[in-house]
């Protein structure tokens, strides 16, 4: 089993973390996290992963609860990882802005 991690700062205060584990050339576990980083602890914005034995995502500006993703949408975790890597690259800025706007509205 081979584990790889990649951290990529994409914007001044937003970080995207990629983690995956491969066996025999196939991804058997992955997580992709979008976080706002700053002076305090990082705040989770978005996560998609295969932890807890199933594929799911969390959009923290909506809820902390994981939303299951039907695994039949993908031929394998390798395909799901590639799909969500692109999805995150396209949307992480928008998601971070949604999270910040929602967080700012909490005190009102």
What is the Cβ-side half-sphere exposure of residue 25, based on CA atoms within 13 angstroms? 0
pLDDT of residue 1: 64
User: In the Cβ-directed half-sphere of 41, how many Cα atoms lie within 13 Å?
Assistant: 2
β pairing state of 2-11 and 56-59 = unpaired
Tell me the per-residue pLDDT of 45-96, one tens digit each, with 9 for 90 and over: 999 999 988 999 999 999 999 999 998 999 999 999 999 999 999 999 999 9
Collapsed DSSP state (helix, strand, coil) of residue 68: strand
Task: Name the domain count of the chain.
Answer: 1
Rg of the chain's alpha carbons, rounded to an integer? Answer: 14
Q: What is the pLDDT, as a whole number, of residue 9? A: 65
Q: Which two tokens stand for residue 55?
A: 């594929």
The pTM assigned to this predicted structure is 0.87
Q: Tokens 């949408």: give the residue.
A: 73
Give me the domain span that covers residue 53: 2-105
Residue 108 is predicted with a pLDDT of 45
């Amino acid at each position: 089993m081979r584990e790889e991690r990649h951290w990529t700062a994409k914007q001044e205060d937003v970080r995207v973390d990629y983690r995956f584990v491969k066996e025999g050339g196939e991804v058997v576990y992955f997580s992709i996290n979008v976080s706002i980083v700053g002076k305090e602890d990082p705040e989770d914005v978005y996560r998609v992963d295969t932890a807890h034995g199933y594929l799911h995502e969390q959009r923290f500006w909506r809820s902390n609860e994981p939303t299951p993703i039907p695994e039949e949408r993908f031929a394998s975790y390798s395909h799901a990882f590639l799909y969500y890597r692109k999805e995150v690259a396209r949307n992480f800025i928008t998601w971070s802005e949604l999270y910040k706007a929602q967080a700012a509205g909490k005190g009102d």
